[in-house]
Structure 1
Amino acid sequence: MSENLDDLKAFLTVARSGSFTKAAGQMGVSQSALSYTVKMLEQRLDIKLLHRTTRSVSLTQEGEQLFNDIEPLFSGIEQKLNNLNSFRDNPRGQLRVNGTEITLNVLLWDKLSKFMRDYPDVQLELTMDYAFSDIVKDRYDIGIRLGDTVHKDMISVRVSDALEMMTLASPSYLKQFSTPQTPDELHHHRCIGLRLPTYERIQAWEFKDVQEPNKTISITPEYSLVVSHARLQLKAGLEGHGLVWLPKVMVENELQNGEFIPILEDWDMCYSPYYMYYPSRRESSPLFRLLVDALRLQPL
């Protein structure tokens, strides 16, 4: 019986990830071993569950029906087992969080670090992703995104203040080049862009229209440098390689030390706060509630 359940767990993992390679990595087994396990399951059931190509894996109609039937059952069992953590002196288990670089690396890092110190037997898995992930499908416990992008069927809890964006230059850059007075003048400057890997595009810079405050101006400069992480963008800006567009919370020390000079301040954009989001069924887990309480924005 346990072998049958292991086969079904392997099938669920492949179905969720859409990839034998990803599923094998999650399970800690080889891709060939996992493929063999699923093949044996198909032979035992005498039903083809997956369409396989060299690049992707998708469910057959029968596979989709099996997935829909058993996935809630396995998720329920996992949830019940996790709930037993409340009877232990030291909570333990695994929690997976999906957020952007800014949320995990800047806004929430101190809280996450404290959580790890307070609960050393809990394994946190932190994934930085610019896309809006389907946390149920991808098996994350919590997603963190700007409030106006959170799906309405999710419970959302605020974790930050409003996100203020700033256009910045180093003193060395401004000694060499003039200071832009309007966003349109950015087209005549060296700018450092951020590529959003999930979307396969470079992030546009957005500004408040000083003439019509409810209107947003979107600018895509001719970038002299494009990077894939905001930390690299910050570093290149500090060294005078170009102008950068970054969250204020990320550059407060550099502003205070005079390493960055704000420009185009009248056009600065302010976005909604960040929220963590999750399905309602997760609230019954004591371990999960510990993390939610640790990350929520506390009132002043």
Structure 2
Amino acid sequence: MVRPSLNDLAAFAAVANHQSFRRASDIMGISRSALSHTIIGLEAKLNVRLFNRTTRSVSLTQAGARLLARLDPVLQDLDQALDTLSEERGTPSGPLRINANKSGASILLADVVPRFLELYPDVELDLVSEGRLVDIVEQGFDAGIRLLETVPKDMVAVKFGGDVRFIAVAAPSYLHGKERPQTPDDLYAHRCVRQRLPSGKRYRWEFSRRGSEVAIDVPGNLTLDDNDLLVRAAADGRGIAYVPEYFARPYLVSGQLLTVLEDWCPRGPGLALYYPRSRHVPSPLRAFIDLLREVDSTR
């Protein structure tokens, strides 16, 4: 048997952990054909089939599962050893992949990312912004950023950015001549700009006051899937929108939008950076968390 290289084994672990040649090739920065060729070569060297492949899926054989169980701890130990060398040089280096929702990414780009890149020029920060909640381990991310209440229970969460508040807003031109809603039920008499969630479901607007909670499937003839677009549509007089205050603030300051149902829109738990509890925390992520906490303490 020809002894496989470390690159061969790392490629195998990437495909096995993500159960996808596409995801593994994206994370490793190589083409799918090159990755496939590496795996075929590895199986030839070991004289054993490691994966069951179809046109739609890839799964481990029994031999592949046994190899992964032994290999994963070894590769994690190697990553930790290399990370220790980085620490001894005095500065973190290497890739840092963070998956964030759009509001989280916007806050980081304004307050944290510029300072982080200045302090740690040897770190390659890959900040992916998307609406859907993903499995950060399966997708190859070091950390994720979402609302604290949506962070999986088996993750370590680092809260930042303060509490978040969703508010109902509308343009003065839309409200002119209309009776402003006083309770969430009054929205049924208005035109609203509705929101489509990444899951495909339409978002039910959630309000609370003095312990009373209400979820409303509001009426409206326009549905959007992006907070910036929702705010712009409301500012253009298309109806009432329900968005994080962060996105509406510039329009409120300029007078292009006004709030409605003010006392039905309390603050709630804000954003959090989260990462796997059971895995080694690489030095770039530790440095990012330290800076995030430092910046957050000065807000």
User: Structure 2 vs 1, CA of residues 29 and 284 (structure 1 numbering), >3 Å: closer, same or farther?
Assistant: closer
**Identity across matched positions, percent:** 37
- Superposition pairs of residues 50-199 of structure 1, within 5 angstroms: 50-88=51-89, 90-106=91-107, 109-175=110-176, 178-197=179-198, 199=199
RMSD: 2.6
CA contact (8 A) 1:155 1:280 kept: yes
Specify the alignment match of 2:297 in structure 1: 298
User: Structure 2 vs 1, CA of residues 39 and 257 (structure 1 numbering), >3 Å: closer, same or farther?
Assistant: same
CA contact (8 A) 2:4 2:42 kept: no
**In structure 2, how many angstroms separate the alpha carbons of the residues matched to 1:176 and 1:128?**
40
Aligned length: 296
**In structure 2, how many angstroms separate the alpha carbons of the residues matched to 1:107 and 1:187?**
37
Equivalent residue letter for 1:180? P
Which 5+ residue runs of structure 1 have no aligned equivalent? none
Equivalent residue letter for 1:27? M
CA contact (8 A) 1:167 1:245 kept: yes
CA contact (8 A) 2:3 2:45 kept: no
Specify the alignment match of 2:5 in structure 1: 4
Equivalent residue letter for 2:200? E
Specify the alignment match of 1:264 in structure 2: 261
* Cα offset, 1:166, TM superposition: 0.3
CA contact (8 A) 1:146 1:274 kept: yes
* Cα offset, 1:153, TM superposition: 3.3
* Cα offset, 1:89, TM superposition: 5.4
More divergent stretch after superposition (123-132 vs 280-289):
280-289
**In structure 2, how many angstroms separate the alpha carbons of the residues matched to 1:56 and 1:89?**
43
TM-score of the superposed pair, with normalisation by structure 1: 0.86
- Superposition pairs of residues 172-251 of structure 1, within 5 angstroms: 172-175=173-176, 178-197=179-198, 199-208=199-208, 210=209, 213-251=210-248
- Deviation per CA, 1:237-267, whole angstroms, max 9, x where unpaired? 2222222111112322221221210001121
**In structure 1, how many angstroms separate the alpha carbons of the residues matched to 2:216 and 2:62?**
45
User: Structure 2 vs 1, CA of residues 51 and 2 (structure 1 numbering), >3 Å: closer, same or farther?
Assistant: closer
Specify the alignment match of 1:274 in structure 2: 271
Equivalent residue letter for 1:298? S
**In structure 2, how many angstroms separate the alpha carbons of the residues matched to 1:241 and 1:190?**
8
**In structure 1, how many angstroms separate the alpha carbons of the residues matched to 2:52 and 2:102?**
34
CA contact (8 A) 1:163 1:270 kept: yes
User: Structure 2 vs 1, CA of residues 179 and 58 (structure 1 numbering), >3 Å: closer, same or farther?
Assistant: farther
